[in-house]
Amino acid sequence: MAAPPEDLAAHYRAQGYWIDETFADFVADRTTRFAGRTALVGVDAHGRPHRLTYAALADAASVASARLGAAGVVPGDRVVLALPNVIELVVVVLGCFRMGVVPVFAQPAHREHELSQFCAIADAAAVVVSGDTDGHDQLALVERVAADLRGRGLVPPAVIDVQGWSGSPGPPDTPGGQVRTSAGAGSVALLQLSGGTTGVAKLIPRTHADYLYSVRASAEICGLDEESVLLVVLPAAHNFAMSSPGILGALHTGGTVVLARDPSPRTSFRLIADERVTLTSLVPPLAQAWISSARRRMPDLSSLEVIQVGGARLSDAVATEIGPVLGARVQQVFGMAEGLVNYTRLDDPDELALTTQGRPISPDDEIRVVDPDSPDEAEVAPGAEGALLTRGPYTIRGYYGVETDAFTADGFYRTGDLVRRLPTGHLVVTGRVKDQINRGGEKVATEEIEGPLLAHPEVLDAVALGLPDPYLGERICVVVRTEREERAGQELARELADHLRAAGLATYKLPDQFEFLDTFPVTPVGKNSRRELRQLLVTRLQES
Ligand code: OOB
């Protein structure tokens, strides 16, 4: 978690990127400044609709702080949030901020494998869930997490169920005003999750100063103001939905946040028409789903000005359809929870807006495009493909509590993405060097799937690959070598899927496809060659 050297830090302050405002100040200031305006529209954990002004949101956040306090949470503690897109999510985030508690932004799709790791790494004081989420029993889930932690000699977190909140008044000692904390703007405000490249989760420490800078600058680039209405379709805690410009960007400018409880075009189109939504953010598969649905239904999307698409590579073909079919300008967003976010600008010519993934937020985002095979990470020729390294005022220089080789000695983050940089500074994402699958924007470290599979008695070897998929961009294919060749096929595939589920893996990490091979191609040093395996499968599937 290295801080930058003092000269860089002084530069970031002198440029006005890092200011003294903390998220506690942010909540107090914006909820007062915009008190009477509509802040948040959505349903609660019981599915009941709500519409909160900034003043009402401040009150709700204050009650949430008190409830966290009643569960034993104190300023400086970490609290894991695993909530769906319900208003309590925003309320609890602000409740954490106003009392100096550090939220850990998990997803409702995470299961015991992930939640146990987050709780352990963050030494979480509490975990916040919504009892029954889309038919999944979150309380039973956190009980299993607690048992796992106890088994490892750790103290399990307090469980806070927002479904249990409704109707009951806040604790009697609900503090009215802002809770004063001593933490400064340079301290850790929140922990985001890394997409990961190993079987062990990594948490991303974002400070008040760095995250708020990215929020302010993003809001400006995306043209947000008091009249903006943002529809949140993606999981709200994800960095894209939270800060690019996201929920925090809209609250920063006095706009309105509308939460979609489910990502279906039907729900989103209704909300867009009813709430006169101006901006939303999608991953490429959702953009495709919207396009095909809009062609059939002719929804009223007339209020929509901008549709952001990011999280995974948007094809030029789909980018070209967004304007004509959905009637809004496309803005490509290539970001990462570790920091760097690139946007195509709203006044970019189509040629850039439709075919690049944007340019960095900050003039002080430093970009290096290097030869991934060169031991000294030499920069490639201008315009050539290479691995992206970055350093800047809102990019981390280390993960929370672990040493990794993801950072260079001079503090650049090795993103693991392959890019080309155009003379305008725009980046085109061309591939990846990290062992990660990007399934329609959801990131899966191959090791997370391979690890549990290798522990299965009938598996001799297993490799997880991202195969090209017309809808998801990449789908998860696991190639397995088994001793019991007679069992290779559907039956064993089902058993292995059950095995992964029992290992407590998030649902989106479960393989879309299993393939069985007798031998795996290897590299000259004898390691499995992912590249050749992928090639082999692509050819095999094309032929079948
Ligand atoms: C966003 O953040 P993460 O942390 O879930 O994932 C980051 C990774 C990037 O390193 C890259 O591999 C991939 O996701 N990615 C894209 C992309 N946007 C992200 N790959 C190609 N084209 C794009 N437009 O995904 C994220 C964070 C903030 C804003 C937007 C996305």
- Please tell me the distance between residue 419's alpha carbon and the centre of ligand 1 in angstroms: 13
Question: pLDDT digit string (tens) for 306-335?
Answer: 999 999 999 999 999 999 999 999 999 999
What torsion do the CA atoms of 132, 133, 135, 140 make, to the nearest 10 degrees? -50
CA dist 135 and 447 (Å) reads 28
Q: Which residues of the chain, if any, have pLDDT below 50?
A: 173-174, 176-177
Measuring CA to CA, which residue among 378, 405, 509, 400 is closest to residue 453?
A: 509
* Residue 318 near residue 288, CB atoms below 8 Å: yes
Question: pLDDT digit string (tens) for 422-449?
Answer: 999 999 999 999 999 999 999 999 999 9
Q: Ligand 1 in contact with 428 (CB < 6 A)?
A: no
Indicate the domain borders of the chain. 23-183, 364-432, 436-543
282, 334, 433: which to mutate for ligand 1, most atoms within 8 A of CB? 334
HSE-up of 394 (CA within 13 Å, CB side)? 31
What letter represents residue 86's amino acid? V
What letter represents residue 339's amino acid? G
**Domain 436-543 adopts which CATH fold?**
GMP Synthetase; Chain A, domain 3 (3.30.300)
- Please tell me the distance between residue 528's alpha carbon and the centre of ligand 1 in angstroms: 27
Give Cβ neighbours of residue 432 (< 8 Å, ≥ 6 apart): 416, 417, 418, 438
DSSP alpha helix (H) spans, 305-445: 316-326, 350-353
Q: Ligand 1 in contact with 426 (CB < 6 A)?
A: no
Using DSSP, state whether 540 is helix, strand or coil.
Answer: helix
Query: With DSSP H G I counted as helix, E B as strand and the rest as coil, what are the percentages for the chain, rounded to 5?
Result: 35, 25, 40
| Gyration radius (Cα) of the chain, Å | 23
CA dist 278 and 245 (Å) reads 13
CA dist 387 and 379 (Å) reads 9
Phi-psi region of 447 (alpha: psi -120 to 50; beta: other; left: phi over 0): alpha
- Please tell me the distance between residue 195's alpha carbon and the centre of ligand 1 in angstroms: 9
Q: Ligand 1 in contact with 334 (CB < 6 A)?
A: yes
Measuring CA to CA, which residue among 167, 206, 174 is closest to residue 190?
A: 206
What letter represents residue 244's amino acid? S
**Domain 364-432 adopts which CATH fold?**
Luciferase; domain 3 (2.30.38)
Nearest C-alpha to atom 25 of ligand 1 is from which residue? 311
CA dist 342 and 194 (Å) reads 17
**Nearest atom in ligand 1 to 416's CA:** 10
pLDDT given for residue 3 in this prediction: 86
Q: Ligand 1 in contact with 443 (CB < 6 A)?
A: yes
The CATH number given to 23-183 is: 3.40.50.980
- Please tell me the distance between residue 286's alpha carbon and the centre of ligand 1 in angstroms: 15
pLDDT given for residue 416 in this prediction: 97
> For 102-152, where are the E strands, in sequence order?
102-105, 126-129, 132-133, 136-137
- Please tell me the distance between residue 222's alpha carbon and the centre of ligand 1 in angstroms: 17
Q: Ligand 1 in contact with 337 (CB < 6 A)?
A: yes
- Please tell me the distance between residue 471's alpha carbon and the centre of ligand 1 in angstroms: 17
Tokens of 115: 């939640």
Strand partners, 193: 203
Q: In which order are the strands placed within the sheet that holds 413-421? A: 366-370, 386-391, 413-421, 427-432
- Please tell me the distance between residue 336's alpha carbon and the centre of ligand 1 in angstroms: 5
Q: Ligand 1 in contact with 38 (CB < 6 A)?
A: no
pLDDT given for residue 179 in this prediction: 58
- Please tell me the distance between residue 443's alpha carbon and the centre of ligand 1 in angstroms: 9
Q: Ligand 1 in contact with 197 (CB < 6 A)?
A: no
Q: Ligand 1 in contact with 395 (CB < 6 A)?
A: no
Cβ neighbour number for residue 135 with a 10 Å cutoff: 5
pLDDT given for residue 176 in this prediction: 46
- Please tell me the distance between residue 442's alpha carbon and the centre of ligand 1 in angstroms: 9
Q: From the centroid of its chain, how far is CA 256?
A: 21
Longest CA–CA span in the chain (Å) reads: 69
**Nearest atom in ligand 1 to 442's CA:** 5
Sign of the C-alpha dihedral computed for residues 410, 209, 231 and 44 taken in this order = positive
DSSP 2: P
Q: Ligand 1 in contact with 335 (CB < 6 A)?
A: yes
- Please tell me the distance between residue 350's alpha carbon and the centre of ligand 1 in angstroms: 21
- Please tell me the distance between residue 342's alpha carbon and the centre of ligand 1 in angstroms: 10
**Nearest atom in ligand 1 to 192's CA:** 4
Q: From the centroid of its chain, how far is CA 57?
A: 24
Q: Ligand 1 in contact with 435 (CB < 6 A)?
A: no
Nearest C-alpha to atom 2 of ligand 1 is from which residue? 336
Q: Ligand 1 in contact with 244 (CB < 6 A)?
A: yes
- Please tell me the distance between residue 433's alpha carbon and the centre of ligand 1 in angstroms: 14
pLDDT given for residue 1 in this prediction: 60
The backbone torsions φ and ψ at residue 159, rounded to the nearest 5 degrees and listed phi first, read -105, 125
Q: Ligand 1 in contact with 312 (CB < 6 A)?
A: yes
pLDDT given for residue 378 in this prediction: 97
Question: pLDDT digit string (tens) for 382-429?
Answer: 999 999 999 999 999 999 999 999 999 999 999 999 999 999 999 999
336, 434, 436: which to mutate for ligand 1, most atoms within 8 A of CB? 336
Write the CA distances from 434 to 28, 284, 365, 461, integer angstroms. 41, 20, 22, 20
CA dist 130 and 44 (Å) reads 10
